[in-house]
Amino acid sequence: MKRLLIVTVALTMLASCGNNDGTKGGEKKADTVAKAETKDLSENPDYQKGLAIEAASDCATCHKIDEKVQGPAYQDIAKKYAGLPDTIVTHLAKKIISGGTGVWGEILMIPHPQLSQADAEAAVKYILLLKK
């Protein structure tokens, strides 16, 4: 009888918890997936290396992850170049080093000749990982 009471109480508690999709409170399942992807992203070596290069440079003067400053947001860049061949990394790295204009309007992308090709490519890989 005691076991039956305990099982009944336990089942009642489980049933009252509501959703069993692994989310808490009003959190949507998509939010949970996005958080998991963000966690996985921070463990990505391309993310770590690119973030370090970006942090040591002047990129944040003109760019933010999710909003336009002078230049486009990193997420907008990632979205624009998503799904293109890997050669886009080399092309965009050269654009970072040499600068340019016209791709995102008339705003000038200042050159960054102090960056090596490898560092510029690491920065591009980091940015492309930020696709929303």
Give the length of the chain.
Answer: 132
- Token pair of 7, please? 């099982």
Longest distance between any two alpha carbons in the chain, whole Å: 79
Interstrand relation of 105-109 and 100-102 (parallel, antiparallel or unpaired): antiparallel
pLDDT in tens, 6-56: 544 444 444 444 444 444 444 444 443 344 445 578 889 999 999 999 999
Q: Which residue type does 2 have?
A: K
| Pairwise pLDDT comparison (28 vs 102), residue with the higher score | 102
Please tell me whether the overall predicted TM-score, pTM, comes out greater than 0.85 for this model.
no
The CATH architecture that domain 38-129 belongs to is: Orthogonal Bundle (1.10)
Determine the Cα–Cα distance for residues 36 and 34; give it in Å rounded to an integer. 5
The phi and psi torsions of 81 (rounded to 5 degrees) equal -100, 5
